[in-house]
Amino acid sequence: MEKYAVIMAGGTGSRLWPLSREEKPKQFIAVEHGECMLLRTAERICEMIPSENCYVITNETLFDITRNTLEGIIPAANIILEPSRKNTAACIAYASLLLKKRIGLGLLCFVPADSYVKDTAAYKEAIELAYQAAEEKNGLVVIGIPPKYPATGYGYIYMGAKIKGKRKVVQVKKFVEKPKLKTAVKYLESGKYLWNSGIVVMSTDAASTALESLLPNHYHLIMAAVNANDGQDSGTEIKEAYDALPNISFDKGVLEKSDSICAVKGYFDWDDIGNIDALSTTFGMDENGNSVRGSFQGLDTTGSVIYSDCGLIATIGVENMIVAVTQDAVLVCPRDRVQDVKSLVELLKKNGYENLT
């Protein structure tokens, strides 16, 4: 089967506020050599898959910034537009059914736009193995990362038996939501769990079958809209379908309900950059344990994450803190409270600061 890739790039990344905003979400934040995560993801994928077989699905409000970011890499005609944000179940269902209408039978690899990867060779190897497994099993395949520490910000995959003849492919027993620290430590020590990278590979037929069986509402509403538009990603039918869909993730709607999923172990360094603390992994670390991007001077400042895109940050006696400054907002919080940034963004919206979110 011919291989295709779909980069999922429609999220808002509210946990990275104030760096990430609705009009410029986290996938557009520069992380390495001035390049953003979306661009780096597209470059990695296009080294494996011809650019004409690479697609991006994003919110229609992000079309211009997406097109400009990927100019010369992925054709603008391959940008699929969602009329609203309805989580990854709608995103994957829409792209799968739309591409099945356009290309017929093919292998689809869904890749989050906001993952940070350094070891591209091991990354490509894992995706190739996932393509092979998806074609051989005619089912759904996910890529899991052997955990390096007891992360509480990632979902986990509980591994079952190895697939015969496949050293790095295992059956999936179940998917587990983000655990508490004590549970995450047990997962790490057991050696039976993987981090869920969010990368899913399946054929267009397998996607259709899974959606029709496990998310019939998504399947029928989106299929009717796709057929009504003859495979084009526009029209009132698509908007009406999205308006009727619940906000649910593909993990909850499909992966957690299926009993026939495989996982490929991906031995590459990976981070989903879910918050500013995680973004620090791309900054490196100075002699005081600070991760810095921008202009900074500190006195007795250790173990902190400092980000500025508009001027000097100066600190005294700061330890294990996050200080992020943009043109119109400042965030200061302890590193161990970074998960609460999303709640802070909701508070800003509630109190009339929507223009800053």
pLDDT score, position 260: 87
Q: How would residue 205 be classed by pLDDT, with cut points 50, 70 and 90?
A: very high
pLDDT score, position 231: 64
The packing angle between helices 204-214 and 216-228, to 10°, is 130
Residue 93: closest CA among 12, 182, 6, 158: 6
pLDDT in tens, 245-291: 999 999 999 999 988 899 999 999 888 888 888 888 888 899 999 99
pLDDT in tens, 206-232: 999 999 999 999 999 999 999 987 767
pLDDT in tens, 111-127: 999 888 988 999 999 99
Reply yes or no on whether the pLDDT at 189 is more than 90: yes
Reply yes or no on whether the pLDDT at 234 is more than 70: no
pLDDT score, position 327: 93
Neighbours of 72 (CB within 10 A): 6
Reply yes or no on whether the pLDDT at 165 is more than 90: no
pLDDT score, position 281: 80
Say if CB 119 and CB 268 are below 8 A apart. yes
CB-count exposure of residue 150 (10 Å: 0-12, 13-18, 19+): middle
Say if CB 331 and CB 320 are below 8 A apart. no
Reply yes or no on whether the pLDDT at 308 is more than 80: yes
Looking at every residue in the chain, the average pLDDT score rounds to 93
* Residue-wise DSSP of 128-161: HHHHHHHHHHTS-EEEEE--SS--SSS-EEEEEE
Give me 313's structure tokens. Answer: 């940050």
pLDDT score, position 274: 81
Residue 199: closest CA among 260, 128, 104: 128
pLDDT in tens, 286-296: 999 999 999 99
Q: Phi/psi at 7 (nearest 5 deg)?
A: -90, 125
Going from the C-alpha of 284 to that of each of 108, 134, 290, 293, the distances in angstroms are 34, 36, 8, 9
Which residue spans within the chain are E strands per DSSP? 3-8, 30-32, 35-36, 54-59, 79-82, 107-112, 116-117, 141-145, 156-162, 169-176, 193-203, 262-265, 270-271, 291-293, 296-299, 305-308, 313-316, 321-325, 330-334
Reply yes or no on whether the pLDDT at 66 is more than 80: yes
pTM summary value: 0.91
Q: Phi/psi at 131 (nearest 5 deg)?
A: -60, -45
pLDDT score, position 26: 87
| SS3 at position 5 | strand
Of 230 and 76, the structure prediction assigns the larger pLDDT to 76
The packing angle between helices 87-103 and 216-228, to 10°, is 40
Residue 313 carries which DSSP code? E
pLDDT in tens, 83-121: 999 999 999 999 999 999 999 999 999 999 988 898 899
What's the whole-number mean pLDDT along residues 236-245?
Answer: 94
Measured distance CA(171)–CA(178) in Å, rounded: 20
pLDDT score, position 163: 82
Give me 87's structure tokens. Answer: 């989580």
